[in-house]
Amino acid sequence: MSEDLRALVRRIQPGMTLALPVDYAGVSMAITGPLIRHGAGDLHLVCVPTGGLQVDQLIGAGLVRSVETSAVSLGEAGGAPRFNDAIKRGNIRVLDATCPAIHAGLMAAQKGVPFMPTRGLIGSDILSNRADWQVIQNPFATGDSIAVIPAIRPDIAIFHAPMADRDGNVWIGRRRELAAMAYAATQTLVTVERIVDHSLLADETTAAGTLPALYVEAIAKAPRGAWPYGLWGEYATDTDELIRYAAAARTAEGFAAYMEQEVRA
Amino acid sequence: MSEDLRALVRRIQPGMTLALPVDYAGVSMAITGPLIRHGAGDLHLVCVPTGGLQVDQLIGAGLVRSVETSAVSLGEAGGAPRFNDAIKRGNIRVLDATCPAIHAGLMAAQKGVPFMPTRGLIGSDILSNRADWQVIQNPFATGDSIAVIPAIRPDIAIFHAPMADRDGNVWIGRRRELAAMAYAATQTLVTVERIVDHSLLADETTAAGTLPALYVEAIAKAPRGAWPYGLWGEYATDTDELIRYAAAARTAEGFAAYMEQEVRA
Amino acid sequence: MTVLPREILICTIARLLQDVRHVAVGASSPMPAAGAMLRRALDEGQRKVRLSILGSVEHNFFTNGSAELFDSAGQGRLDAFFLGGGQIDGMANVNLVGVGTYPQMSVRWPGSFGSAYLYFTVPRVILFREEHSPRVFVEKVDFISAPGISTPETYRPGGPVALLTSKALFSFDSQRPGFRLESVHPGHDLQEILDATGFQFDHDDIPPTTPGPDAATLSLLRDRVLNELSETYPAFAAQWRRDLAEAIPDGASA
Amino acid sequence: MTVLPREILICTIARLLQDVRHVAVGASSPMPAAGAMLRRALDEGQRKVRLSILGSVEHNFFTNGSAELFDSAGQGRLDAFFLGGGQIDGMANVNLVGVGTYPQMSVRWPGSFGSAYLYFTVPRVILFREEHSPRVFVEKVDFISAPGISTPETYRPGGPVALLTSKALFSFDSQRPGFRLESVHPGHDLQEILDATGFQFDHDDIPPTTPGPDAATLSLLRDRVLNELSETYPAFAAQWRRDLAEAIPDGASA
């Protein structure tokens, strides 16, 4: 493990709220092992807007108190075994959401407002189980109720991206949910495939897909850092590995053995 | 004037709401003359979030009923003469706003919600003169008032950009307020410097700065179509021309003579 | 003319998508994607049909992150969407969360994804679940991820219009409210549908059979659509080709 | 040591920006930009000072359109901002809209821009208006683009901390509330300030003189900052150089 990665995870304190991206947007799988060895627990995870392998592994390692998410799964490899098991045992609290509600909460933080309204939700058991959400009257119409979602302000956002420059600017392309996470979070930690020598902001073409260094606290180089997930424009998802994990993690022992092997690798 | 430009302006009906971008974001000055000759009046303009030469000329031509804006000026060339004159005479209605409130109204339309909250504003004469805005209680705290801005849903958004591809995708770079306008508007009309043969979405680098064709109703080629404004990465603002206009447009006659000459040119 | 069961489903989906401009399908939904591709092929030259496949790079024309799908639905730019469900009940309530008492459920599924939003905002939501059994089609779902109907004062431009399973096609009437059996797929019958469905539904005494494609449509499906599909869903396309080879031993595909 | 009046202003701005991490200045604001550049040069090696110049391509590290400045202020990522005003009154109310009765005003200015938001959200707002006259500094503004003070229950992490003019520097106390004359620039005196200011303010009987820069700071200003500034504000920088050549005939710039 690189010293850079160790420096990243040292920023994570027990009890913090971490925002993590959806499978295909750039998951920093490279940070998962160091995070587990770092051991800061009692974490609250916010999946933007759904979770997968990383969330399952952090839950399996016992670091997670609660998860706000619209779903957790391993996609083609099936359900998330440690997540499902933790729910059955009542070991974690799940705040079930729907994707645009999580986006709305992050947008509220981005805009510096206490809440955002969102359509849908009314009449769902998602809403009826979220005491932290409200339904208000639309002040611009009569008899129109609308759900309002409070700002989600993660302590730390973590993701993986193709490249960063020496100034700390990060190229996120069209995966703008990564920018949304960073705007909303207090600190953003990024792993990247490579560090480039030219400024990503100097050219209008690359600038268009760049998250400015203003929002980025620390960066570590981690080639193939999304593996076994893919990274857009770089490499595809290793579905066989996800299936291998899904089979191993059906039991706590299988999970432990898998993770042990990963740590050694 | 090209047939393409004529086809664009034919979509504009009297009484419509048009969204127009800030000076430096890509103003389609090329459409201004055709729009004036087209003659559809009684327009409501929404400046995103401020206006300049184009707004002044549309007002001078008598096509404008009202303007929602955070400011109208010619920047270094001074105040906007036809705007200022129209206000003095009471010929147009101005809905004075502040930049983030206009962004909030467009964001509400983008998200399909009836309103967005925004901080600030309380105690200002901007707020006290906007009967169409409201102040509500933050449902997540006691004694915390917050302004809410209703959705702004323009009939038409109009802007100028460096390029479009044959599928109708438009490259807007980091000028994402152009995307915000397009998301919020029913139709979006775009003039561009050039049409390129390769798909802007095929490559992740250009895709990051591309507004998809889904939001674009029609495109016309208009080289140097922002002139006398500049276009980022393409050409600089022609401040001398803005100054020439500012001097000419001090009077209605001077404005008419300037526009006459422009039309002939 | 031999027509595979999945080809009946795909052609039915294409029929349900008549007149759409923009349809979105989930990441692992080859059949809805095939139906949308067939619709696009059928409409070529008359109308442009846009197809978004979530999570795909090839069929993704969004450039504003994963929020853009929901935004475009909120703007009224998304005409049709597909929704599954671990449980679906007679009021078209959908459960994507699990079985048992929430939150500590005996069976937990991934979660509601965007259903609690898209079910309200997309005018034509097609419920698509191949497994047609009493454990899926229940009288009352254990958890409402997204409700099938809403009170009149609830903002709801969208909602369910149809339910398509491996056995039958239902329509949904939000006014009555309830499902009506529109047609039974070849090889199935009404009694089988009644036995396999845990909720009440309207039906004719002798319901019609779900129509198959005409020769031109079938040819379009097996040539162009199958080719297009194999880029995004190679495993599904390969299986389809194998099944075709088996069903039509001479190798002719139309 | 000859110091130009504008150099006093720029050094005062740099002083007011002590400890900031991120400062934004308007498009046509060379003096605030110079002050921020001087701050950045002074802090080099100790802290990173980020400077955003609105509308500039060179000094723009935003990539999310013109909303990003306001978003970053809402997130608490913008520490300092400059605000002018056609009128400013003793309660630090700012008027950027016009003179007379709204809306059909006798003199109309461009408008409020982002003032009604940034004045509330940026912790250190520096009012900067060179013209120090009774028509600018009025007892009560004709239109409040942005109020100087708010009720205690209003969310307001930001607000005015200082007012800098061509004649003097004031601080603002939002508790009292009101301005206090902190110092008078060289070449001006208290009576002149009293005559030129249309609102009441606190002051010592003999107010201090605004300090000028030390030799090292002045050298940094005339070499590095002036060079940096000339990229974005060439006309302003050229005039400054001409004035220096005139004030210091031997051509030595420090």
Q: Per-residue pLDDT tens for A107-133?
A: 999 999 999 999 999 999 999 999 999
What does the pLDDT read at residue C250?
Answer: 64
CA D127-D128-D130 angle, 5° bins: 145
**Confidence tier at D253 by pLDDT (50, 70, 90):** very low
Q: Is residue A22 part of a domain?
A: yes
Question: How do B170-171 and B145-150 pair as beta strands?
Answer: unpaired
- Shortest CA gap D89–chain A (Å): 28
Average pLDDT, chain D: 94
Interface probe with B: pick from A135, A172, A174, A175, most Cβ of B within 10 Å: A174
CB contact under 8 A, B112 and C62: no
What does the pLDDT read at residue B92?
Answer: 97
Q: Which of B148, B174, B206 is facing A207, going by the closest CB pair?
A: B174
Statement to judge: residues A69 and A180 lie in one domain: yes
**Confidence tier at D254 by pLDDT (50, 70, 90):** very low
Q: Is residue B259 part of a domain?
A: yes
Q: Is residue A199 part of a domain?
A: no
CB contact under 8 A, B214 and C50: yes
Does residue D248 carry a pLDDT above 60? yes
Statement to judge: residues B20 and B93 lie in one domain: yes
pLDDT (average), residues A187-207? 96
What does the pLDDT read at residue C134?
Answer: 98
What does the pLDDT read at residue C24?
Answer: 95
CB contact under 8 A, A96 and C146: no
Statement to judge: residues B179 and B229 lie in one domain: yes
Beta strands in chain A (DSSP E): 17-21, 43-48, 64-69, 93-96, 115-118, 134-137, 145-150, 156-165, 170-171, 187-196, 210-211, 218-221
Chains that touch D (3 or more CB pairs under 8 A): A, B
Does residue D57 carry a pLDDT above 80? no
Provide φ and ψ at C150, rounded to 5°: -135, 160
CB contact under 8 A, C72 and B207: no
Statement to judge: residues B33 and B158 lie in one domain: yes
Number of domains forming the structure of chain A: 2
Please state the CATH superfamily assignment of the domain spanning residues C5-247 in this structure.
Glutaconate Coenzyme A-transferase (3.40.1080.10)
CB contact under 8 A, A183 and D76: no
Q: Is residue A56 part of a domain?
A: yes
pTM greater than 0.95 (yes/no)? yes
Statement to judge: residues B144 and B158 lie in one domain: no
Statement to judge: residues B144 and B120 lie in one domain: yes
What does the pLDDT read at residue D104?
Answer: 94
Statement to judge: residues A89 and A124 lie in one domain: no
Q: Is residue B5 part of a domain?
A: no
- Residue A242's CATH number: 3.40.1080.10
Q: Per-residue pLDDT tens for C128-179?
A: 999 999 999 999 999 999 999 999 999 999 999 999 999 999 999 999 999 9
Does residue D97 carry a pLDDT above 50? yes
Q: Per-residue pLDDT tens for A61-92?
A: 999 999 999 999 998 899 999 999 999 999 99
Statement to judge: residues B133 and B231 lie in one domain: no
Statement to judge: residues B70 and B178 lie in one domain: yes
**Confidence tier at C253 by pLDDT (50, 70, 90):** very low
Domain ranges of chain D: 5-247
Rounded Cα distance, D83 and D94, in Å: 8
CB contact under 8 A, D117 and B125: no
Question: How do A17-21 and A156-165 pair as beta strands?
Answer: parallel
Chain B, window 92-151: residues with a beta carbon less than 8 angstroms from a chain A beta carbon:
100, 104, 107, 111-119, 134, 136, 138-141, 144, 146, 148, 150
What does the pLDDT read at residue B263?
Answer: 59
Does residue C254 carry a pLDDT above 50? no
Does residue B264 carry a pLDDT above 60? no
What does the pLDDT read at residue A261?
Answer: 87
Q: Is residue B120 part of a domain?
A: yes
Which residues in chain B touch residue A139, judged by CB atoms under 8 angstroms apart?
115, 134, 136, 148
Does residue B60 carry a pLDDT above 80? yes
CB contact under 8 A, B173 and A116: no
With contact defined as beta carbons under 8 Å apart, do D183 and D207 qualify? yes
**Percent of chain D beyond pLDDT 90?**
89
Number of H helices, E strands in chain A: 11, 12
Q: Per-residue pLDDT tens for B3-56?
A: 889 999 999 999 999 999 999 999 999 999 999 999 999 999 999 999 999 999
Interface probe with A: pick from D61, D66, D68, most Cβ of A within 10 Å: D61
What does the pLDDT read at residue A2?
Answer: 75
Q: Is residue B122 part of a domain?
A: yes
Statement to judge: residues B136 and B62 lie in one domain: no
Do chains D and C have 3 or more beta-carbon pairs under 8 angstroms?
Answer: no
Q: Per-residue pLDDT tens for A101-112?
A: 999 999 999 999
Q: Per-residue pLDDT tens for B176-222?
A: 999 999 999 999 999 999 999 999 999 999 999 999 999 999 999 99
Q: Is residue A78 part of a domain?
A: yes
Chain B, window 89-118: residues with a beta carbon less than 8 angstroms from a chain C beta carbon:
109-113
Q: Is omega for the bond preceding D134 within 30 degrees of 0, making it cis?
A: no
Statement to judge: residues A63 and A132 lie in one domain: no
Statement to judge: residues B130 and B158 lie in one domain: no
Q: Per-residue pLDDT tens for C167-203?
A: 999 999 999 999 999 999 999 999 999 999 999 999 9
Domain that holds residue A142: 115-150
What does the pLDDT read at residue C233?
Answer: 87
- Shortest CA gap B53–chain C (Å): 30
Which residues in chain A touch residue C120, judged by CB atoms under 8 angstroms apart?
119-122
**Confidence tier at A228 by pLDDT (50, 70, 90):** very high
ipTM comes to 0.96
Q: Which of D50, D74, D121 is facing A214, going by the closest CB pair?
A: D50
Rounded Cα distance, B210 and A136, in Å: 36
Which residues in chain A touch residue D63, judged by CB atoms under 8 angstroms apart?
179, 201, 207-212
Query: Which DSSP string corresponds to chain C?
Result: ----HHHHHHHHHHHHTTT-SEEEE-TT-HHHHHHHHHHHHHHTTT---EEEETT-STT----SGGGHHHHHHHTT---EEEE--SEEETT--EE-SEESSSSS-SEE-S--TTHHHHHHH-SEEEEE-S--STTTEESS-SS-SB-S---TTS--S--EEEEE-SSEEEEEETTTTEEEEEEE-TT--HHHHHHH-SS--B--SSPPBPP---HHHHHHIIIIIHHHHHHH-HHHHHHHHHHHHHHSTT----
Provide φ and ψ at D110, rounded to 5°: -55, -45
How many CB pairs below 8 Å do chains B and C form together? 37
> Which residue would you say has higher pLDDT here, D159 or A232?
D159
Q: Per-residue pLDDT tens for B124-167?
A: 999 999 999 999 999 999 999 999 999 999 999 999 999 999 99
